[in-house]
Amino acid sequence: MKKNELLLVIFLFLFITQTNGFYEFLGSVVSFVLELTRIQQLLIPLYRPKNRAQEEKFDFVIIGSGPSGSALANRLTENPNINVLLLESGEEASFIADIPVAAGALEFMSYNYGYKSQPQPGFCKGCPNGVLEWPHGHVLGGSSVINYMIYVRGSPGDYNKWADLGNPGWSYKDILPYFIKMEDTRVKISDDEIRGKGGYLTVSDVPFRSKIVDVFVKACNEAGYEYVDYNGRRQLGVSYIQSTTRDGKRCSAEKAYLRPVRSRKNLKIQVKSTVTKILIDDKTKTAYGVEYYYKNKKHTVYAKKEVICSAGTLNSPQVLMLSGIGPRDHLEELDIPVVMDLPVGKKMYDHPTFPLMLFEIKKPLVIDGIQVVLNPFNYLGLLTGKGAFTTIGGVEAITYIKTNQSTESDPLYPDIELLMIGGSLNTDFGIVFRKIFNIPSQIFDKAFLPKLGSDIYMITPVLVHPKSYGWIKLKSKNPWEAPLFYPNFFSDPENDDIKTFIAAIREIERINATPAMKKIGAELVNVPLPGCERNTFDSDEYWECALRTIIGSYYHQVATCKMGPSNDTEAVVDHKLRVHGIKKLRVVDTSVIPIAPSAHNVAPAYVIGEKAADLIKQCYNI
């Protein structure tokens, strides 16, 4: 049997078995691979807890190894006299997570907590069970191991707003040095004077590009959008995507910040350790340690200086509330003793995205999913860091626009992000993409299956500054039960979020009407979404129906432990990330971001970790 034939048989087997245990099969394969690829652990063993009879003490205990926690652990242990314990509930990732094209599939593996939102009226009417998939990293390196590796700093205006809200030290001028410090920029077109070189985090162009992306960039230019380094002097404009990849492979927080310093004797990393409670002296309101479970046994560890919660926007509020820090009425409802009454989880912003702007083209330029799988040279590319498998889930270009709905005075402050994907929901026959975007099989079969085999690319508009916001609650005081997540999309009373989305759709259509797109015969796929047939296709009423029927999330939740001054009734931490009213306890992750930024969370997450390290060093003169 020829190589291509063998690959075809394997692909067809996976496709045929997709509805009958495909992910279970894939999970078994991945589990086997995991056991064969523990070289890192063999070379540098992870920390193991001592016998419970022996008292364990560290200067700092960090809960969570996402970008913020990893950067913080690295920087604090630069001082050999400071010892740090980094606790992570997940395991170590295998090399499978390094393959950029596998980004979507990683959401269906053990590296993801597998959270889902709660059903609510007004959105996701066509989603399975009316809920959103909300991936959250459950692995060493956190969500940086399962995300799409899109690197976006955000607009300078984002950080200036943070400072204006009563958070000195967080303006763009204050934050820029940290971006420069942490980056190792390998981008062909960049504003070099404000981009970093030689830092821990590699930011690269994606080696593989489909031909359609070049046409899209040209079309944006024709529509009036200048080519920019969107992580440079200005964000408004179009660019090829910049990614957290190094030599064609994922550069996660573990790879960037932990792997280079694993040999430090003063840094202890413990995986498979779930923190269930922060220990706080109720009389002095001082944090002094944590309780966590490792191999089904409870352990206690003490912090001589501070406990730092870096569990992420979805889990940091859970840990705080389980420890008695949160809204009094909610904690008392669950019979959790109240240590400090704070608005933990009361506000949560996210970036909703609409995945149904699909364009069919007459000239075949789009990535052909079957050819990618069948071409053996793409597998060789895994070793060389080249080829189609280096694409970050198909995302190839990004455009920041300011629609006619924006009320911002800053002419360069965007309200919409356009992500161009060199493929569509049809590319993988509905195996992964449709599940990521919460599209049930019945809608996929009716609306998209007829276009199977067509050359289609998609543009997903992302609402970067939603007015609607949701919240997080505990389901119970059982730490093993996932919290309850309420996104509350499209709930703003003036319907501004819907209006901005529709304005973005009109701008996408204008871009697609440029000469560059006409030359390849690009046309909007005119297949009415089931449930919206009563509305005239492409009318504002149709798009509102479609938006409320199928909406996705790019998992950029923020503000659940909002940063702000003590007189801010929504604030949980101050500008030095210290929990209001509690000594020796900080929150260091994207949960502290006060408003939804024009960023993908991984970039500000690293900056928060870097900034926090300096704040702590200054506090203790270390």
* 303 has pLDDT over 80: yes
Distance from the Cα of residue 350 to its chain's centroid: 10
Average pLDDT estimate for 183-193: 97
Instruction: List binding-site positions for substrate.
Output: 554
Instruction: List binding-site positions.
Output: 139, 275, 554
pLDDT in tens, 130-183: 999 999 999 999 999 999 999 999 999 999 999 999 999 999 999 999 999 999
Q: Which amino acid is at 275?
A: V
Which range among 4-8, 180-184, 413-417 shows the weakest confidence by mean pLDDT? 4-8
What is the rounded CA–CA span in Å between residue 561 and residue 343?
8
Domains of the chain are 1-36 (no CATH), 43-112+131-201+254-346+558-622 (3.50.50.60), 207-240+352-463+490-550 (3.30.410.40)
What is the rounded CA–CA span in Å between residue 568 and residue 167?
11
Q: How confident is the model at residue 103 (pLDDT cuts 50, 70, 90)?
A: confident
DSSP per residue, 183-245: EEEE-SS--GGGS-SS-SEEEEE-S---HHHHHHHHHHHHTTPPB--TTTT--SEEEE-EESE
Q: How many CB atoms lie within 10 A of CB 219?
A: 25
pLDDT in tens, 590-600: 999 999 999 99
CB-CB contact of 422 with 212 (8 Å): yes
What is the rounded CA–CA span in Å between residue 441 and residue 447?
10
**Percentage of residues in the chain with pLDDT exceeding 70?**
87
* 541 has pLDDT over 70: yes
DSSP per residue, 499-555: HHHHHHHHHHHHHHTSHHHHHTT-EE---PPTT-TTSPTTSHHHHHHHHHHS-EE--
Supply the residues annotated as catalytic: 556, 600
pLDDT at 288: 98
Q: How many CB atoms lie within 10 A of CB 28?
A: 11
Instruction: List binding-site positions for FAD.
Output: 139, 275
Judging by DSSP bridges, how do beta strands 57-63 and 297-309 pair with one another? parallel
Extract the tokens encoding 563. 């940063």
Average pLDDT estimate for 275-303: 97
